Structure 1
Amino acid sequence: MARKIENRHIEKSKVKFPYFSILGVLLVVIFFTVLWRPLNLDRTVYIPLNPQVETTVNNTSVPVNIGEGQVELVDGNSNSTVIESSDEPEDEIVKDDLDKIIDEKDNTVQYTIVRGDTLHDILLRYNVNRNDVYELTSQFKQLANLRIGQQLMWTTDDDHNLQNLNWTISSNNIRMYEKSGNKFVENSETVEGILQEVVIKGEIKSNFIADARKSGLTSTEIGIITRALQWRLDFKRLQIGDKFSVILSREMHGDRLSNSQLLAVRFKNGSKDYYAVLADDGKYYDINGDSLSQSFFRYPLAKKARVSSQFNPRRLHPVTGKIAPHNGVDFAVSRGTPVLSVGNGEVVIAKYSGSAGNYIAIRHGRQYMTTYMHLDKILVKPGQQVKQGEQIGLSGNTGRSTGPHLHFELHINNKPVNPLTANLPIDEGLTGKSKNAFVAKVKSIKPRLEFNN
C-alpha cells in the first residue's frame, strides 16, 4: 500500500497567492483608464470655487475644436476638465435708434487720445487684428508719440483687419497709414484747417435723434454726446419739452467737416440738469469735477475662477478652415455657482436661447453689453434694472455644453472684446490742482450753455 508522503514545502507551493500577477493586472487597468478618460466627452467634472482655483491659469491649455464646439484640455498641474460648448444664442438683441447711429460707421472708429493711451492698447481694445497692430507700430515708431487730445480714426474690414489709420497731430498736420499687401504705407497731409467753436441748442419735440439732427448735429457728434452722458442720462426717457445745449470745436477744410470735439453739453430733463464738460486729461466730468463713468467688475463671480477657454476672435475651424470665433471667456465653475452682474444696467434678454442655453444679456449705458450663457437658473426678467454685484442667475450646463461652466462676453460698441484685458472705465473724479483748473473752466463755459426762454 502506497505511503502518503508529507512534505510541508510542497504543500506551501500549492497554495501560494499570485500577488504579482494581480498587481500587474491592476496597473494595466489603471493605465488604460488614464488614457481613456480625457476622450470621454460625456463625463461631467464639478470644479468648486476654492483657493486652488483663485488664480486664472496661464496659456498652458490646448484648445481642440470639435464640430461647432471646443474641447479645452487644461494643463495637468490642475484638475483637468473637458468642456465642449456652443455659444450662439438664437435671440438677437434688439437695437434702438442710438445703436443704429453707432452702426452707421460700423467699421470706422473715431477716437480721442486720453492719458495713458498707447496705439497698441487702443487698437487691441477695439479688436483690431493683432498682426496688423504689430506691423503698423513696428514700421512707424513715431506712433508711440501720441498726445492727449489728438484724434485717431481707423477703418477695418469685417474680419477686423486694419485697412487704414489717420492720426491728426494738429489742425494742419495729418498722418495717414494705408495698408498695402502685408505692409503699411505712410502719407502726410499738410492742410490749413479752420477751427470753429459752435454752440447748438435744441428742444425735444419728437425724440432726441431726430431733433438733434434738425438742430445741426451730425451722427458722429450725437454718438459722442450719448457716450459722454451714458451713465447719467437715459436718452430714451427724454420727454417733449426737454432741452439740450452743446458746445463743439469743429475743424473745417473748406466746406468739409473733418473733425469734431465735444467741449461741453447740458441736458434739461424735467427739473434735472445733466452736464458733461471736457477736462484737460481728455475725459468728461460733471460740473463738480466728479466722474461720469461707471466702474465694472472684471469677473461675474464672487471669486475669480479658473479659465477653461480663452477669448479668441480668430479661432479657425479645423475642418472648414473658416474663422469660428470664441467671443467670450469660459469659467470652470460648478453647477449652481452664483452669477453676478458686473455693472449697473438693464436686462434686455433673459430666456432659454438655443445652444446658449439659459441666457442673460444686460445693457450698461450706451457702449457696453454683457452676456451670460449656459445658466442653470435665471433670476431676472427683461426690462429689470440691476445693480453691480447683484445676483442674476446660477451657473449650469444648459444648451450645447458637455460640462458645467459660465460663458461670459463683453461687447463694446457692439463688438466683442476680451473681458479679462479690456480697458474698462474707472469711476474716479478730479482732485487737487486738476480739479481747481476744471472748476475755473466750468465757470467760464457754463453761461454759454444757458437756454433761451
Structure 2
Amino acid sequence: MDQERKRNVGNRYLIVLLLVVSIFGCKDDEKTVVEDIVEVVEEPKEIIEFGFNVQDYVVKRDTIRKGDSFGEILERNHVGYPKIFHIAEKAKDTFDIRRLQIGKPYTLLCSKDSLETPKCFIYQPSLEEYVVINFQDSIHAYTSRKPIKYVEKTATGVINSSISQTLEEQGLSPRLAYKLADDIYAWTIDFRRLQKGDRFKVIYTDKYIDDTIYTGVHNIKAAYFEHNKEPFYAFEFVTDSAKGIIDYFSEDAKNLRRAFLKAPVKFSRISSRYNLKRRIAVYGFKLRPHRGTDFAAPIGTPIMATANGTVIDSRRRGGNGNYVKIRHNATYETQYLHMKKRKSKVGEFVKQGDVIGWVGMTGNTGGPHVCYRFWKNGKEVDPFKQKLPEAKPISDSLKVEYLKFIEPIKIRLDNIHFLEDVFEEQNQPEQTIKQNNNLISLNH
C-alpha cells in the first residue's frame, strides 16, 4: 500500500514538472525539449475560369430560359434598371444583349457579401466562345475563346459487323466512322458492304476545350483501309490555303472524292425522287412534275453544300420557302429548299460539306425535308442519273510537294501494327487472338 502511495505521489510530481516546463520553458542547459505543434494551413489554389479567379466571387450558373432577357436576369439579382440600361449601352458595340438564346449557359460573378451583387455577366453562345460583360469597376465587354487542345492519336480496328459497332465496342467516337465513310472513302468504299475481316488504321486528332471537355474527332490526318484484301490509303492535304480547301488523296496523288456529295444531309432517306411524270391524288392526279430529290430529315438537321461554289441566291420565296442556291462552275448549280433557317449569304464562297442552313418545313411541304435541285447547263436534271465529274485533281506543281509531304506520314502509318498481327508474331493461341480482335490500339 505504501509503495502504491509513493508511486501516485511520484506521478503527481511528474505532472507538475511538465506543466511548469510547458509554461515557463526550459533553460538552455537542460536536455528536455518541448516542441511546439504547428498546424500548416495551405493557401487555397486559384481557380481560373473565363480569365477570373472564381474564388473571389460568389458564382451563380444557369441557362437562358423562355422569357429571360439580360435585364430580367440582372434585375432579379438586385441590379436596378438604370444601371442595367447603362451597362447595355456600353456593351452594345461588342455584343447585342438581345441575342441571348434559350438553353445557352451563363454565369454571374457576384460580390462576397450579404447582397451578392453581380459584378460580371458571362454568356456562352458555344462550347468554345464566351462573352464577358464586366461592370465591377468600369463597364467593358469583350468576346473570347476557351483554350483549345488537340491530341493526336492512332487507332486500328478489325471489322466483325460494321465499322460503327467496331468503334463503339472499343469506346471510340462514332465521328471517326462518319469521317471515314463520308469525308474520305465515300466514293471509294461502300461502307454498307464491308466484309468481315476488313481492317483499318488511322492517324487522327481529338479536340478538347479547357483540357477537359471532349468535343470529338477534329480531323483525320491519314488512313489505311483494307477492303476485300485491297489496300486504300488516304492522306489529308491542303490544296488551296486561301480558301481553306482540304482534300484526301491516295498514295499516288489521286483525289479520293468526287466533285459532288451524294446527299446534302447525313443519315436521311429519299422520300421523293426526281420524277417528271409524277401525279398526286390530292391534286386530282394531275401531272405535277417533281424536279428535285427530297431527303427526309428531322427539323434542324444541318444541310450541307454538296460541292464547292458561290452562293448566288439566298432568300424566302413562295412554295420554295427558305432556300439557298449555289453556282459551282459554268456547268453545275444546286438549290436547297424548305429550310428552317438559312446560314449562307449571297456572294459567299462555300466548300463541300459546309453547313448552309437547316432542315425545316417552310413553303409548300407536308413534312420536314430538304428538296435538292440540280442544274446542268441551265436545265434541272436528276443528279443520280448524271455521270458526275471527279474532284479537281492535284496540280502538277503541288504533286511533288504532296508526295514529299506524305512520305514520313506513310512510313508512320505502315509501322502501326494490327493487333492480330502482333499476336500471331508472338505465337499466342488462336482463342487469345480472337479475344483481342475486338480491341483497338490507341496511342496518345
The question of a shared fold, defined as TM-score above 0.5 by the shorter chain, is answered with no
TM-score, normalization by structure 2: 0.38
